[in-house]
Structure 1
Amino acid sequence: MKAIVLRELGGPNQLRYEDVEVPTPKANEVLVRLKYAALNRRDMFITYGMYPGMKLPSILGTDGSGEVAAVGGQVSDIRVGSAVVINPALNWGDNRAYHGPDQRLVGMPTDGTYAEYIVVPAENVFTKPDYLSWEEAAALPVAGVTAFRALMYRGNLKKGENVLIPGIGSGVALVALQIAVAHGANVFVTSSSDEKLEKAKQLGAKGGVNYRSDQWVKELKKLMGGADLIIDGVGGENFNHMISIANPAGRIVNFGATSGPIKDLILPRVFFKHLDIKGSTMGSPEDFREMLQFFEEHQIPPYIDKCYPLEAATEAQIYMEKGENFGKITLEIE
Structure 2
Amino acid sequence: MANLAAVITAAKTPIKVQEVEIGKPGPHELLVKNEVIAFNPVEFKIARLAIFPIQYPAILGSSFGGTVEAVGSQVSSFRVGDKVAASKNFSAVGTQYGAYQRYTVVGEDTTSKVPEGIDVAIPTSLLGNLPTIVALFTGRAGLDKPSFDGPVSAKDKKVLVYGGSSSFGSLSVQYVKQAGYTVVTTSSPPHWDFVSKLGAVAVVDHKQEHGALVKALVAEGPYDLIVDSISFPNTVAVTAEVVAAQGGGKLYTLQPAFGPETLPEGVTRVFESWSSTMDNDLRSWAFTTYLPQGLSGGKIIPLPIEKIEGGLDGVSDALDRLQKGVSGVKLIVDPWE
Tell me whether the two structures share a fold, i.e. TM-score over 0.5: yes
1:136 is paired with a residue whose SS is: helix
TM-score by length of 2: 0.79
Aligned match of 2:160 in 141, 157, 164? 164
- Look up the equivalent residue of 2:204 and give its one-letter code: G
8 Å Cα contact 2:87/2:127 also seen in 1: yes
1:217 paired with 2:191, answer no
Instruction: Name the CA shift for 1:75/1:166 in 2 (closer, same or farther; >3 Å).
Output: closer
Which amino acid in 1 is paired with 2:19? D
Name the CA shift for 1:76/1:237 in 2 (closer, same or farther; >3 Å): closer
Q: Cα 1:19–1:4, aligned 2, differ >3 Å: closer, same or farther?
A: same
Gap change, CA 1:194 and 1:126, over 3 Å in 2: closer
Indicate which of 125, 129, 132 corresponds to 1:143. 129
SS in 2 for 1:157: coil
Q: CA deviation digits over 1:107-157, x for unaligned, max 9?
A: x76541111111234444333344642001211222111112222222223
8 Å contact from structure 2 (residues 60, 98) kept in 1: yes
What is the SS of the residue equivalent to 2:22?
coil
SS in 2 for 1:58: coil
Q: Which residue of 2 aligns with 1:100?
A: none
Cα separation, partners in 2 of 1:327 and 1:228, compared to 1, 3 Å: farther
Do residues 17 (structure 1) and 17 (structure 2) align?
yes
For structure 1, list consecutive stretches of 5 or more residues without a partner in the other structure. Answer: 91-102
State the aligned residue count: 310
AA in 1 matched with 2:221: G
The answer as to 2:62 corresponding to 1:62 is yes
Distance (whole Å) between structure 1 residues aligned to residue 250 and residue 285 of structure 2: 22
Matched, 1:202 2:197: yes
Q: Which residue of 1 aligns with 2:152?
A: none
* Distance of 1:9 and 1:326 partners within structure 2: 29
* SS class of match (1:114): coil
Q: Please tell me whether the aligned partners of residues 154 and 253 of structure 1 are also in contact (alpha carbons under 8 angstroms).
A: no
Shift of 1:197: 4.0
Which secondary structure does the structure 1 equivalent of 2:306 belong to?
strand
Distance 2:204 2:79 in 1: 46
Q: Describe the shift of the 1:301–1:240 C-alpha distance in structure 2 as closer, same or farther (beyond 3 A).
A: closer
Pairwise CA RMSD? 2.9
**Whole-Å Cα distance in 2 between the matches of residues 228 and 9 of structure 1?**
40
Shift of 1:89: 1.4
The CA deviation at 1:60 is 1.7
> Which ranges of structure 2 fall in alignment gaps of 5 or more residues?
145-154
Q: Is the 8 A contact 2:84 2:111 kept in 1?
A: yes
Residue identity (%): 23
CA offset digits 1:222-280 (Å, max 9, x no partner)? 2x1322211223153654643442456976432324x745622344x34xxxx995745
| Residues 305, 325 of structure 1: 8 Å contact kept | no
Q: 1:176 to 1:207 in 2, by over 3 A?
A: same
Taking a change above 3 Å as real, the CA distance of residues 245 and 76 of structure 1, as seen in their structure-2 partners, is closer
